[in-house]
Structure 1
């Protein structure tokens, strides 16, 4: 009689027979899913950002004869943010600081945290791409001061002056929840948010120099990185 060894292996070792084993099984599957989901999100994020560099939409573009100056102060926080992402994602992928192995937390909160993380990850990604679209070809990794730079006040920029940073922050929160990682979650507030705020302030100086009183009036009615409710 031929023995279906693969079927027996599945029944004995793979198919969950207890709540404990079922929890381990679900955690393993969701952790692999977390890695692929976050990696895919970042690939979409950067591909869309650089592909949209070539689109102008309905927005004014910088003239070919324009004289623009790059603010060197914007380079350091950019390097810090990129380095932080690599370091923290190494923690996430190596499951350092993960809470999924704590049964009391994992069994009760991980499914909800995973679902909430997916929603935040997708929402932050979509919001960032929309914000990037409204900048058209005027987006740059470094802060640029230009006398002919267009003043973007449409879309998310009608309410938030640096909506891409909000999207980036939300993406990181979502990734931390998907991985169920306390280091990533705390770092989003304690490290990433202050860095993004610092870089946004550097950009504010450049924008005030470029647009003067018009931008100062815009400041009074909008939030820096979050919606202004009061």
Structure 2
């Protein structure tokens, strides 16, 4: 059982690591035209990366047991949640194409993306990232990490979403307002 728990935890870590490697690859292969883009506030991005650093530090500082049925169950559910979150982020990133960036940007040339997962919610990448970090904490059965995910990472993702909303509203005006009224912010049909 211990081996299964460890394998499932490795899967959860690989979901995050794979996503980060893809993100680095995407950002290197993507030339941005700085002159036309309206850039958003970077403070939420910095806060978000800080919260992520705290989350992963807590996984190292507060190790949990790998033995027992509960550890396997948490590792399995957390790994599945992390994989689902990573898959959603990858799908959304592909849908955004040239409109993707770590820091919020808006550009008339790339347009307002309202297709794929974006037809259901305005910020599905943040939903995917929230699922991913909550999955990481669950996979490791690490309650301090889960607390940091819920009280640090998720709120900074919401802050990023709000900052991005202001930028999109400023750039796309009425078109964004119509889109905003017909879709939820992060959770389909709820929020």
> Where do 5+ consecutive residues of structure 1 fail to align?
1-25, 56-60
Distance 1:158 1:90, change over 3 A: same
Q: When the two structures are superposed, what TM-score results if normalisation uses the length of structure 1?
A: 0.73
In the TM superposition, structure 1's runs of 4+ consecutive aligned residues that sit over 6 Å from their partners are none
**Aligned pair count?**
190
Query: Where does 1:66-215 land on structure 2 (aligned, <5 Å)?
Result: 67-71=36-40, 73=41, 75-94=42-61, 96=62, 98=64, 100=65, 107-215=68-176
The separation in 2 between residues aligned to 1:46 and 1:137, in whole angstroms, is 18
User: RMSD in angstroms over aligned alpha carbons?
Assistant: 2.5
Q: Take 1:136 and 1:184, find their aligned partners in 2: how far apart are those partners?
A: 32
Task: Specify whether residues 229 and 142 from structure 1 end up closer, same or farther in structure 2 by C-alpha distance, changes over 3 A only.
Answer: closer
TM-score by length of 2: 0.86
Unaligned stretches of 5+ residues in structure 2: none
Deviations 1:120-158 (A, max 9, x none): 011111111000100012211112243434111110000
Larger Cα-atom Rg: 1
